[in-house]
Structure 1
Amino acid sequence: MKQQDERFLQALAAALKHEKTAWETAFPAQDWLGLFECAEKHHVLPMIYEAVYDCPAARELDPTFLLPFKRRTIQQVTLQAIKTGAFLQLYAHLQKAGIRPLVVKGIVCRALYPDPDARVSGDEDVWVQPEQFSACHEALLAFGMQPAEPEKDIETAYEVAYGKPGSPLYIELHKSLFPPDSEAYGDLNRFFAGAHDRAAVVSVQGAAVSTLNSTDHLFYLICHAFKHFLHSGFGIRQVCDIALFANAYGDGIDWPRLLAQCTEIHAEKFSAALFHIGEKYLGFSPEKAYLPPLWTEIAVDETALLEDLLSGGVYGAADRNRLHSSTITLNAVAAQKQGGKAKRNVLKTVFPSAKALSGRYPYLKKYPFLLPAAWGDRLLKYRKETAAGNGAAESIRIGSQRIELMKQYGILKK
């Protein structure tokens, strides 16, 4: 592992324990820049800054060096505090309107951190049963929220994003936790049938918030990371969420059921590797979480997964070519589910089906005959994004490499 990655994980571990790093030996300003760039890539700058700014090594820096990072930390923490307060107001409004939404990830996970507002979130995820969607939509409009994509058909979409003019509040309203039409992971929704009936209530800043019960929620956090891993990757922040959640709610988690579900989707090694990463680097405690031997006995090397998620950043967005490689990996997973062999399919990568592109081009749901136009638009945008080099070749290389990684963790057959 690179020294920069080691320092990054040390600082993150300290932040999760509300501690400071004890680095005494000074290192070059360029290395400090690398550390903060990594923090930005994983959207954890406030946590990293708070953990390192006052250590002996940092005191050796020019006093002005840390100012930009301090300024961005204050801005991000302040913004998150505003968003959290606004969301809790919105949640109370929905409850008064008779809506019974479940809140997942985001604010529920942030409440587990020593400094919740230092764990920033781009949005909040709210899940309602389909029959409550229309009423929830009207209640959101009454609160001043507006659809972020006005042209989107909210009746057929599985999720709809809303923002509020003049406010940083942004939510995603889900009818299901995963897109049902996804060939790669749409079937994950079956595990959450009846989840509203077995929901739990947690306290967030003194407010009672309904959410998934502990077993469902941990499985959802794993599935969410798994979903993004099948695309182009996920960042270390999701592993932090999983580690803290398991530590906090481990005694109420049905670990055998969780393992059975992970095994059913070929994610048991993937999940075990996440817990290994959590234990080695992020303060996850198998004892505190009541993790049974059936989990600890899973033989897996987490190194390759850790390297992949560190390099990719949040949702693999650190590299455009890596983002585009998701077509290759998703096609491989879908092919295996259909009884085929996971392989690289260049034509499907360049010319995906109307179903695969309908999320980006909603008009394909109604007018699939416009698929060639969507291909043309997609290729034009891709050409602009990768004009500096042979982006297609690099995407194929990354996709092929990540298919091998999925085989290593048993997600795809060798």
Structure 2
Amino acid sequence: MQHAFFSLVRSGLWGTPADRQLFRSVSPDDWETVYRMANSQALLALTFDGISSLPAELRPPRALYLKWTARTAQIEQANKRLNQLLPELNTLYREAGLHPVLLKGQGIGTNYRTPLHRQCGDIDIYLGKQGQPIANRLLLQQGAIVEGEASDKHASYSLKGVHIENHRIILRLNSPLANRHFQQIIRKWYPQETDYALFSETGKEDSKAVSIAIPPATFNALYIFLHAFVHFLNSGIGLRQLCDWTCLLANRHKEIDATTLLRQLQDLGLLHAAQAFGYIAVTRLGLPANRLPFPLEGTKQIGEQLLEDILSTGNFGQHDNRIKPRPKGYWAGKWYTFCRATRRCNELRQFAPYEALWYPVTLIGGTIAIQINRLKGVKDKKARTKK
């Protein structure tokens, strides 16, 4: 069913008809398999667009079709909630003198043919090390609720039913040398040289659209790949992350400096990994090869290995049936995550040896940072209680 599934994905990405020949002998059980694939890869609404290009007699059975329709509507509503809140957050932060930059998510959604059909998650906003604490206080004043553990990279909140992450650090690479270089790349453009995108409730430009800062296109092409790759090393990724990168490369290619992007990937030691991602983008998702800043010769083996892992693990590794459930205890869970990530990095070290080597160290450092933040939070709470 892979061929049928990818035909639907390409149809949703580019607005071309799905290959009817692939669906003439698809059984109800086969359609259930395609649905599960789309669900595990966070591509339900995108593949529904592909289904819409098929004649009625080749579409899924009625019950499944209605289920697919309902899930697509839910994804649209989730996107609208985020798009409604975005301008409010942007105004709140800017009026406080901050320089918020929208990361990933809704910003990347603007590159999709149908932005509301990109399966969304949360709102990620970069504010820098000085700006983030101020933004955190502003959210609390608006009635936001703290969610999860604050890491050294971001703090998480819930406001009006939307998950928000205020970032003090955009991303940290595992290799100290590569990470130092990556942070230098960020400092070259933030905050003076951001791009802007227009946002409305529908995700498209209209009379009510609001301009919000996003990263420059060349940096974004680097960052979206890096973010996906870091999650790939940790637990796995879904095809949605590949679709994000593919849509960005396809629709912003005139603004992306291919020479700079290639050099940065080489400097970070991640060109080989990026070529594996590019292999899938071209051979499965339909990206024209000339939209990549590097050649794909000799990448089939590692590209197919990446694809096999993506189809096995699903979105952020949440559908990997090969692993045992995470233990319920706090420290037992931490140890489980560490062991799993270490084992996974060892298996995938050929993609980026230095990143894989340093990843367990990054996990330990992240856990220490979380504990320090927890202790600081306890002390601050005691101090407020005494007052």
Partner of 1:73, secondary structure, is: helix
Partner of 1:170, secondary structure, is: strand
Match 1:276 to one of 250, 255, 279: 279
Match of 1:135 in 2: 134
Q: Aligned equivalents of 2:2 and 2:285: distance in 1?
A: 13
Question: What is the Cα deviation at residue 85 of structure 1?
Answer: 1.4
Match of 1:16 in 2: 13
Give the letter aligned to residue 162 of structure 1: Y
Q: Aligned equivalents of 2:49 and 2:81: distance in 1?
A: 19
1:26–1:57 CA contact under 8 A, matched in 2: no
Match 2:183 to one of 189, 192, 207: 189
Match of 2:162 in 1: 169
Match of 1:252 in 2: 255
Partner of 2:269, secondary structure, is: coil
Cα distance, 1:181–1:74 mapped onto 2, change above 3 Å: same
Taking structure 1 as the reference length, the TM-score comes to 0.73
Q: Which moved more, 1:324-333 or 1:247-256?
A: 324-333
Cα distance, 1:309–1:331 mapped onto 2, change above 3 Å: closer
Match of 2:365 in 1: 355
Question: What is the Cα deviation at residue 76 of structure 1?
Answer: 2.0
1:159–1:176 CA contact under 8 A, matched in 2: yes
Q: Aligned equivalents of 2:104 and 2:143: distance in 1?
A: 23
Match of 1:178 in 2: 171
Match 1:285 to one of 288, 308, 332: 288
Question: What is the Cα deviation at residue 33 of structure 1?
Answer: 0.8
Cα distance, 1:297–1:312 mapped onto 2, change above 3 Å: closer
Partner of 1:193, secondary structure, is: helix
Match of 2:95 in 1: 96
Question: What is the Cα deviation at residue 309 of structure 1?
Answer: 1.4
Give yes or no for the alignment of 1:261 onto 2:261. Answer: no
Q: Which moved more, 1:247-256 or 1:57-66?
A: 57-66
Give yes or no for the alignment of 1:328 onto 2:328. Answer: no
Give the count of matched residue pairs: 344
Q: Which moved more, 1:75-84 or 1:182-191?
A: 182-191
Give ranges in structure 1 of 5+ residues lacking alignment. 368-414
Q: How does 1:294-305 map to 2 (within 5 A)?
A: 295-296=294-295, 298-301=297-300, 302-305=303-306
Match of 2:238 in 1: 235
1:328-363 Cα distance to aligned partner (Å, 9 max, x none) = 244786x9649xx969xxxx89xx98536447xx33
Question: What is the Cα deviation at residue 37 of structure 1?
Answer: 0.8
2:122–2:164 CA contact under 8 A, matched in 1: yes
Question: What is the Cα deviation at residue 183 of structure 1?
Answer: 6.7
Give yes or no for the alignment of 1:158 onto 2:149. Answer: no
2:111–2:248 CA contact under 8 A, matched in 1: yes
Partner of 2:42, secondary structure, is: coil
1:127–1:176 CA contact under 8 A, matched in 2: yes
Partner of 1:325, secondary structure, is: helix
Question: What is the Cα deviation at residue 93 of structure 1?
Answer: 2.5
Match of 1:312 in 2: 313
Question: What is the Cα deviation at residue 240 of structure 1?
Answer: 1.0
Match of 1:406 in 2: none
Give the letter aligned to residue 198 of structure 2: S
2:10–2:18 CA contact under 8 A, matched in 1: no
Taking structure 2 as the reference length, the TM-score comes to 0.78
Cα distance, 1:310–1:105 mapped onto 2, change above 3 Å: same
Match of 1:146 in 2: 145
Question: What is the Cα deviation at residue 39 of structure 1?
Answer: 1.0
Structure of greater relative contact order (alpha carbons < 8 Å, 6+ residues apart): 2
Q: Aligned equivalents of 1:8 and 1:366: distance in 2?
A: 44
Cα distance, 1:58–1:103 mapped onto 2, change above 3 Å: farther
2:173–2:230 CA contact under 8 A, matched in 1: no
Structure 1 vs Structure 2 CA RMSD: 3.3
Q: Aligned equivalents of 2:47 and 2:54: distance in 1?
A: 12
1:76–1:120 CA contact under 8 A, matched in 2: yes
Partner of 2:183, secondary structure, is: helix
Match 1:198 to one of 178, 193, 202: 193
Give ranges in structure 2 of 5+ residues lacking alignment. 201-208, 325-336, 376-387
Question: What is the Cα deviation at residue 198 of structure 1?
Answer: 2.6
Question: What is the Cα deviation at residue 252 of structure 1?
Answer: 2.1
Partner of 1:71, secondary structure, is: helix
Give yes or no for the alignment of 1:55 onto 2:63. Answer: no
1:355–1:365 CA contact under 8 A, matched in 2: no
Partner of 2:119, secondary structure, is: coil
Q: Aligned equivalents of 2:117 and 2:340: distance in 1?
A: 31
Match of 2:213 in 1: 210
